[in-house]
Amino acid sequence: MNRLSEIFFHQSVLHFMRFERVDQICRWRLCSGCGACVSACPERNLSMADIPAEGLRPILKDVHCRRCGRCVQVCPGVGLEHNRENALIFSGEWGPVLEVWEGYAADPEIRYWGSSGGAASAFALYCVEQASAGGVVQTGVDETVPIRNRTCCSRTREEILRCSGSRYSPASPCEFFERILEFSEPSVFVGKPCDVAALRKYEKIVPEISKKIFAAVSIFCAGTPSTEGTLVVLREMGISAEKLSSFRYRGGGWPGKATAIEKKTGQKKELTYEQCWGGILSRYVGFRCRLCPDSTGEFADISFGDPWYQPPKPNEPGRSLVIVRTERGRTLLRQAVQKGYLILQPVSETVIARSQPSLLNKRRHLWGRLAVLRMMGVPSPRYGGFGLFRSWWKLPFSEKLKSLGGTVRRVWSRRLYCPLPSDIFREKSC
């Protein structure tokens, strides 16, 4: 079957297809790896596994499931929708925005080891020490395999500090939802934009989890690189994963260096942020991440990211950009400032676009990319309330043509019109 025939064949199949199970979503590369489906499955029929070239993906334990559809209902990969009940707080291309701040953690150590001023860690610490949060559900390093992540529930300053700094590798904090439901006190949930979006979807089918979430915090995200990307970083450093005693992607000043330390010798290997992220990891960001309209945590109570509009200075300890999205977020942030956990100053909303031009550019190209995918028979996410066509219309005509043509070439060259093999997402015994 030649490529053109394959495209027409899959178009005819997709005309009748509706996603009934999460493995179908994975086969069409729409999974973001959040893990919400694992928590949602009433039959405990799913588990997360790291597929090095793809990322963390749910694996089906038994193909004879009830097809209840709960795994699809909570999946942020198949689609997202904003509820625009109060359209006044929706700001251009950044979702709901109440306030924008810039600043840093008052604690010098948290500021230094955080990726960009440590504001997210300082905010989480305030919630635990001064407010009534029972803990912070967040992503930390797997100490047995330092390039991998694990979901932690931090309850002390030391535990929060250990989880500080970006983790540019697959993480699935949403498979922790079942444990959150068992906690006696509500927790702060910290995740990527897709993780928080999955939380909001999960709340619709399991409403009781809303009482267990003290605040939903998102970190800005340009996409999650696969584990394969980290292995390439290590090869560039000249060290293997088996020889690592520790590995950090960022932190230790702003923006910080990727740092690997060898077990036996204690030798340190480093790459700059530009070499690590811009030179290597960004090339390993997954297909679904490149189709995401939400890179700044639009479904969170509060979001934290880098203020790239000003270049880092030598020995810069770091600053954070903070977007308040809900009244809950506004109240907690102001309390954290009053209690001395954060040092912040208000800034203009225009700082977001100046700080994150690449994220804005990705969003403006998205409507055209999605249109091409659908015309070529490639399943794509469904979005509502994001104003994607208005964003796309702002592109110059030449940019529109370039984007459309580039999407056609990628679909053709990477055979995105064909699903991945089904056995990748099933246990061997299935």
The predicted model gives 194-211 an average pLDDT of: 97
pTM of the prediction? 0.94
Task: Check if the beta carbon of residue 381 is closer than 8 Å to that of residue 330.
Answer: no
**Residue 294: what pLDDT?**
97
Q: How far apart are CA 57 and CA 198, in angstroms?
A: 15
DSSP single-letter state for residue 278: I
Q: What is the pLDDT of residues 382-391, one digit of tens each?
A: 999 999 999 9
From the CB of residue 379, how many other CB atoms can be counted at a distance below 10 Å? Answer: 21
Q: Which helix (H) or strand (E) element contains residue 305? A: strand 302-305
Say yes or no to pLDDT of 8 above 90. Answer: no
Crossing angle of the two packed helices 119-129 and 327-338, in degrees rounded to 10: 90
Residues of the domain holding 95: 1-430
The predicted model gives 378-405 an average pLDDT of: 94
Q: How far apart are CA 368 and CA 425, in angstroms?
A: 30
DSSP single-letter state for residue 241: G
Count how many domains the chain has.
1
Q: What is the pLDDT of residues 225-252, one digit of tens each?
A: 999 999 999 999 999 999 999 999 998 9
How confident is the prediction for the chain on average, in pLDDT?
A: 92
Could you tell me which residues come within 8 angstroms of residue 124 by beta carbon, excluding any fewer than 6 positions away? 136, 138, 154, 160, 188, 190, 217
From the CB of residue 4, how many other CB atoms can be counted at a distance below 10 Å? Answer: 10
- Provide the pLDDT confidence category of residue 12 given band limits of 50, 70 and 90: very low
**Residue 92: what pLDDT?**
78
Say yes or no to pLDDT of 259 above 90. Answer: yes
